[in-house]
Amino acid sequence: MDLTGPVLGIESSCDETAAAVLAPDGAILAESVFSQTEDHARFGGVVPELAARAHLSHLPGLVAGVMEKAGVTPRDLGGVAATSGPGLIGGLIVGASFGKGMALANNLPFVAVNHLEAHALTPRLPGLLPGGAAFPYLLLLLSGGHCQCVAVEGLGRYRRLGTTLDDAVGEAFDKAAKLLGLPWPGGPYLERMAKEGDASRAPLPRPMFGRPGCDFSFSGLKTAVAQAVSKGQAAHADIAAAFQTSVAAVVADRARNALEMAPGATALVVSGGVAANSAVRASLSTVADKAGLPLVAPPIRLCTDNAVMVAWAGIERLRAGLTDPWDHAPRPRWPLDELSPAA
């Protein structure tokens, strides 16, 4: 299908309210993210009801802002794409309803975007790799809510090779950080603390390391951190360093196996908030080098939740002639392998 104009993307599945306008070729005309972190920090995690209310109050202004910055009116758009799952249902209803309303009022096609597909397609955005990443590639999605290895074989064609049996990797960082007395969300604070520590002074387990397949498990590591802290055997910074070293080693080991399960992959792609961690990036870069593949780590603002990736997923779907009906209901749970592939 020919795209007749720019696409508006809307993200509201967790605690980032975001809007972006992309030209039909994927050029970013305007983008904006409002992070609600401060609203939730004092509760030590995302409070769904607060998040939904914050999306409702911030989204209209954010959308107006990006439309103005991009210099487009709703009539100029070629379509509207809004995250419709998986995520917190309140926020999904706010974003999807807003997107549908705009599309309906302006006679535009609507795309109900799967948030995981949006992360998965990000490396195809023009400008990150010459010509965009070509299918197939291996995606490691490492965030606070998701932790999986996915073979991205084509638009709408995803094979989940492995996932976490308990906590997501970002969640593990946050829980370990909390045990170390750091603020939420703890990943970045833990990374900073780890720089002052010596991992060899607080040996921690490496769950799943060396096992077949590419599943993850982090709850045992979290328990080990809790015990190390309560016994006071090592300095907090040493425990932080050991935790990070252990996670980086496990992620690399899982990525190595996942690459073997995804023959033909043209790149190793890492996304999600934990992709910001330099130890994790460094160990993945070694894995990619050994496999003779490029490691694609999008800039952090495109790794964490954003609307550029949602607009881009919308563009890929619209180009393939895929749109969604007005009665498409947001889905709190929506596995990647339940997507409609391109014909």
Report the interface residues with ligand KG4, using CB under 6 A: 14, 143-145, 170, 173-174, 185-188, 191, 272-274, 276-277, 304-305
Q: How many residues bind Zn ion (CB under 5 A)?
A: 2
91 binds, among ligand KG4, Zn ion, none (CB under 5 to 8 A by kind): none
Which of 66, 240 has the CB closer to ligand KG4?
Answer: 240
Q: How far is the CB of 186 from ligand KG4 (least distance, A)?
A: 6
Q: How far is the CB of 116 from Zn ion (least distance, A)?
A: 8
- Residue 263: name the closest of 142, 84, 136 by CA: 136
- Entry field: residues in the chain: 343
Residue with tokens 């597909």: 117
Which of 102, 147 has the CB closer to ligand KG4?
Answer: 147
Q: Which of residues 138-167 bind Zn ion (CB under 5 A)?
A: 143
Q: How far is the CB of 169 from ligand KG4 (least distance, A)?
A: 8
Q: How far is the CB of 188 from ligand KG4 (least distance, A)?
A: 4
216 binds, among Zn ion, ligand KG4, none (CB under 5 to 8 A by kind): none
CB neighbourhood size of 219 (10 A): 15
Residue nearest to Zn ion (CB): 305
The bridge status of strand 16-22 relative to strand 7-11 is: antiparallel
The CA distance from 103 to 227, in Å, is 53
Q: How far is the CB of 162 from Zn ion (least distance, A)?
A: 18
Which of 257, 304 has the CB closer to ligand KG4?
Answer: 304
6 neighbors 23 (Cβ within 8 angstroms)? yes
> Helix, strand, or coil here: 278?
helix
Q: How far is the CB of 40 from Zn ion (least distance, A)?
A: 15
User: In sequence order, what DSSP letters do the residues of 201-244 get, joined into one string?
Assistant: GS----TTTT-SS--B--HHHHHHHHHHHHHT-S-HHHHHHHHH
The CA distance from 145 to 167, in Å, is 8
31 binds, among ligand KG4, Zn ion, none (CB under 5 to 8 A by kind): none
Which of 283, 306 has the CB closer to Zn ion?
Answer: 306
Q: How far is the CB of 28 from ligand KG4 (least distance, A)?
A: 19
Which of 83, 277 has the CB closer to ligand KG4?
Answer: 277
The CA distance from 261 to 161, in Å, is 7
Q: How far is the CB of 184 from ligand KG4 (least distance, A)?
A: 8
Q: How far is the CB of 61 from ligand KG4 (least distance, A)?
A: 22
Which of 23, 118 has the CB closer to ligand KG4?
Answer: 118
The bridge status of strand 79-85 relative to strand 110-114 is: parallel
The CA distance from 318 to 61, in Å, is 26
Which of 272, 314 has the CB closer to ligand KG4?
Answer: 272
Q: Is 191 in the site for Zn ion (CB under 5 A)?
A: no
Half-sphere exposure for 3 (CA within 13 Å, toward CB)? 26
Backbone angles phi, psi at 313, to 5 degrees: -60, -40
164 binds, among ligand KG4, Zn ion, none (CB under 5 to 8 A by kind): none
- Answer for which of 117, 305, 316, 324 binds Zn ion (CB under 5 A) is 305
Which of 123, 170 has the CB closer to ligand KG4?
Answer: 170
324 binds, among Zn ion, ligand KG4, none (CB under 5 to 8 A by kind): none
Both tokens assigned to 246 = 């252990």
What percent of the residues of the chain are helix, what percent strand, and what percent coil, each to the nearest 5? 45, 20, 35
Both tokens assigned to 197 = 């520590």
Amino acid at 128: L
Write out the residues near Zn ion by the rule CB under 5 A.
143, 305
